Structure 1
C-alpha cells in the first residue's frame, strides 16, 4: 500500500515523485549502458584481451545483483534516501578510479566492485520500489513503466554521448564526465524519501508493516509463482548484459564502425522507452504472465533473425529497434507481480532477489561472451544460448498465478 498523503509533504505530488524517479533512473542507467563502448579502447590501452574487461563487467553485474536485496532491505527498513546517496557516491567513485586502473585486479575493484555495489544502491530497481510505496495504486503499473523507460532514455542519451566523448576527448575524460553526471542523483533522491519501517507501522501507512524480513523471505521463496518469476528473470539479465557489453565489439568485428555500435545501443534505449511505457500500460489491462511470456519469446525471435540474416548498418539498427521494444519491458510486469503477490512492504527487497537472478544471468552472459570469443573467435555460442533461454523463460512464466498470497489478502494489503 502506498504511503498516505499525510505521510508525505504536500509538494511531493505523484507527478513530482514520478518525474524525480525518472531523472534518477536516467542518470543511473545511462553510463552503465554505455560500458561496451569502453571495451576496445581500455583493452588496447592496457594490452588486455577482451576477457579481462568482460570479467570485470560480469563481476559488476553479479555484485549489482548481490547487493540489491540488501540495499532493498535497508531501504525498506530505514528509507530510500541514505541508500540512494551512498550508491551514487560509490558509483561516481568507481567511474573516476576506473580511469586509473592499469591492472586486472584494480580494474575488477573499480569497474566490478565499486560500480556494482553503487548501482545496487541507486539504480532503477530502488526507484521502482520507491514509486510502488509513494504512488497511488491505480497509477503504480504506469509509474513502473515510466521509471523503467527513463532508464532507457538514459541509454539513448549516454550511448552516443559516450561514443562522441571517447572519439573527441578520450575514454578517460568520458569516464570523468559520466562520474560528474551521476552526482545529479543526490538532490533528486530526497524527493523519493520513504519513511522508516517503524514510522510507517506507527502511522498505519503500510498495512503489512508488521511482517518481519524472515517471514517475508520464507513466504516468497515458498511461493511457486515467485520462484518461477525469479527463474525467468535470469534470461533477461543474460541477454541484456551480453548485448550491452559485446554488441559494439561484435559489430566492429563484422566491419561496422564504433559510431554504429553507439547508435544501435542508443536506438535500443530509445525504443525501450516505447516498450517500457507500453508494458506498464498493458500491465493494468492483461495478465502480466502472458505479457512476460510474449516479451521473452519476441526477444528470442529477434536475436535469431539478427544472427541469421546478413549484417549491415540497416539490419543492426533494425535489431536495435526490435530489441529495444523488449529490452527492459520485463521490469514493469515483474515488479508488478511481486507487488501484487506480496504487497509493497518489502517490495524493494523481494524485487531485489528477483533482480539478483537477473544479474546472475548478466554475469554469465558477459563472462561467457568474453570466454567464447577468446577461445573460438566468435560469439555464436552465446547468441544461441540467448535464444534458448528466451524460449525457456517464455514457457516458465505461463504457470504463474496472479493473485495476492493469503496473508496479504487477509491483511488487506493492496497490489
Structure 2
C-alpha cells in the first residue's frame, strides 16, 4: 500500500519513463533480426554489421555522461525529446541504407546518440527523482521491468515484416513503434517540475567536476564500473550474434524472434525481483551474483547442441538476469553519491558497460569471421563473467560502500 501511495503523485512520470525505455530498448535489442537478410542483400559482412552495433554502443556510452550533465543543467524533457527525434532519424536512415555507410550512420551513430538521451541511465534517473527513497529500489525495478516489454512487441513484429516484406520493412515497423517514444518522453519530462529531494539538495553546491572526481576516487564505484564492462560484453554478444548462431545451426529463423521475446518477457520478472531484492540486500553483491549466474547459463547453452527448447530456456534464464542490473546500479549510485548528479555519474559507469558492449558485438563478429565459429567468443565471455562476478561479490562483502560522499 505504501508503494502505491508513493507512486500515485508522479505515476505519469514513471509510466512515461518506462514506456520510453521499453520502446527504445525493445527496438534496439531486435536489430540482430535484421543482420542475416541485410548481410545477404547489401554486401555487408557480419563483422561489419557488428562494427555498426559497436559504434552505436560506443556513441551511447561516451555521450551518456554528457547527456546526464545536460539533463541536470537544462532539464530532462529537452534531452529526452531530442534523443527521441534522433532515434527516429536513425531508423529512417537505417531503413534506406544501401551499404555500410548507411548502416553505420543510422543504426550506429544516430541510434547510439539517441540512446544516451532516452535509455536506462536517463529513465532510471527520472524514476529516482519521482519517488521517495523508501520505495526507490522497487520502483526502479518496475521501470526496468516495464521497459522490458518493448521486445515483446518489436521482435515478433520485426520478424514478421522481415519474412513477408524484407528487412527494410522490418526497420520501418520499428520506426512506427518508436513514434510512441515522443509522448512518453514528454510525460517523463514532468520530472523537471519536481523540487530536488532534500537528500539531493546539497549537491547543488558541488560542481560536476568535483562530483566526478569523488566518484572516481570511490573504490566501490570503481569495482562496480569495472564489472559493468563485462556485463555489457555478454549482453551485446548475445543480442547481436544469437540470430546468426541459430541460422548457422540450421534452426527456424522465427526462433530468433521467439528467443528475443522470451528475453523481454522474463526481463520483466527479473527487473521486479532485483528491484525488490535491492531494497533488502547489498545491491553490489546482487550484481556480482547476476554476473556469475549469467556466465553459468551461457556456458551450459553453448556446451549443448542448440534446439528450440534449449534456446528458449536459455533466453528465459538470460532474460531474468538481463536488465536486473539497472535498478541495482542506479540505486548504488544514489546510495553512494546522492541524486543531484546521478545521471552524470551513472553515465560514467555506463560508459564502461558500453566499452564492453563494443567488445562483445565487434569482437564476437571478428572472431567468427577469423575462426569460422563462435566457440572462442563465448568461452571468453564465460571466463570474464565469472571473474567479474566473483570480484564484485567479494569486494561488496569485504568492503561495503561508504556513506554518500555528499548528501
TM range (shorter): over 0.9
Paired position in structure 2 for 1:25: 21
Paired position in structure 1 for 2:121: 125
Partners of 1:388 and 1:204 lie apart in 2 by 40
Per-residue CA distance 1:359-389 (angstroms, 9 max, x = gap): 1000110001111111111011110111012
In the TM superposition, residue 157 of structure 1 has moved relative to its aligned partner by 2.1
Does the CA-based 8 Å contact 1:153-1:270 persist in structure 2?
yes
Partners of 2:401 and 2:362 lie apart in 1 by 37
Partners of 2:196 and 2:272 lie apart in 1 by 32
Q: Does 1:306 align with 2:301?
A: yes
Does the CA-based 8 Å contact 2:80-2:118 persist in structure 1?
yes
Paired position in structure 2 for 1:356: 351
In the TM superposition, residue 19 of structure 1 has moved relative to its aligned partner by 1.9
Partners of 2:222 and 2:190 lie apart in 1 by 28
5+ unaligned residues in a row in structure 2: which ranges? 1-6
In the TM superposition, residue 97 of structure 1 has moved relative to its aligned partner by 0.8
Does the CA-based 8 Å contact 1:248-1:261 persist in structure 2?
yes
* Secondary structure of 1:261's aligned partner: helix
TM-score, structure 2 normalization: 0.93
* Secondary structure of 2:203's aligned partner: coil
In the TM superposition, residue 200 of structure 1 has moved relative to its aligned partner by 5.2
In the TM superposition, residue 105 of structure 1 has moved relative to its aligned partner by 2.4
Partners of 2:191 and 2:322 lie apart in 1 by 32
Paired position in structure 2 for 1:243: 238
Q: CA RMSD in A?
A: 2.2
TM-score, structure 1 normalization: 0.92
Does the CA-based 8 Å contact 1:81-1:192 persist in structure 2?
yes
Partners of 2:362 and 2:199 lie apart in 1 by 46
* Secondary structure of 1:13's aligned partner: helix
* Secondary structure of 1:193's aligned partner: helix
Partners of 2:243 and 2:102 lie apart in 1 by 24
Does the CA-based 8 Å contact 1:300-1:391 persist in structure 2?
yes
Does the CA-based 8 Å contact 1:130-1:194 persist in structure 2?
no
In the TM superposition, residue 14 of structure 1 has moved relative to its aligned partner by 3.1
Per-residue CA distance 1:238-261 (angstroms, 9 max, x = gap): 011110010011011111111001
Q: How many matched pairs?
A: 400
Q: Does 1:165 align with 2:161?
A: yes
Per-residue CA distance 1:313-335 (angstroms, 9 max, x = gap): 11111101111110111111111
Q: Does 1:336 align with 2:302?
A: no
In the TM superposition, residue 280 of structure 1 has moved relative to its aligned partner by 0.2
Task: Identify which of 212, 224, 230 aligns with 2:225.
Answer: 230
